[in-house]
Amino acid sequence: MKYLVMVQGAQADYDAMNGKASAQSPAWSEQDLRAMFAHMNAINDDLAESGELVDAQGLTEPGRTRFVTADGQGRPVVTDGPYGETKEVLAGYWVLDCASLERVTEIAARVTQCPQPAGAPVYPVVIRQIDESGGADLGGGEAA
């Protein structure tokens, strides 16, 4: 079964990793960043070795986000992020092919152990099973 494992963050976290402290997050040192990358690289290496890793990516800061919606006439409306009403955004993800939900939960628990400076915000790791049935059941009920 394939799963999407997501880590969340906020613009303040990206700023903190670039040395700018805020009320939401302390500034990260070079040592803090090295420890985080070493932890995540070890997870990626282990998942690649086990054959469970399909893809893994970190995403750029929310300030480099672009939103595309449609106006009332169906024309595209493009705006840049970040958007003020959103506190957390997707910061990175893994696509994993695991034998069970229990296994992917073990991996997510390992992700939560990522080192970070004291006072940095803690976000949940989100697990979503990927629908491989060929048709999404968006309504939550039986497919028509």
Profile the chain (144 residues) by mean pLDDT over runs of 10 residues.
96 94 94 97 98 97 88 93 70 97 98 96 96 71 46
2-129, CATH topology level? Alpha-Beta Plaits (3.30.70)
Query: What integer pLDDT is reported at residue 109 of this predicted model?
Result: 98
Query: What integer pLDDT is reported at residue 144 of this predicted model?
Result: 40
Contacts of 76 (CB under 8 A, 6+ apart): 68, 69, 70
Q: Where are the domains of the chain?
A: 2-129
Query: What integer pLDDT is reported at residue 84 of this predicted model?
Result: 56
d(CA 132, CA 124): 25
**Identity of the amino acid at 37:** F
**Identity of the amino acid at 50:** S
Query: What integer pLDDT is reported at residue 65 of this predicted model?
Result: 87
Helix (H, G, I), strand (E, B) or coil at 8: strand
Query: What integer pLDDT is reported at residue 138 of this predicted model?
Result: 59
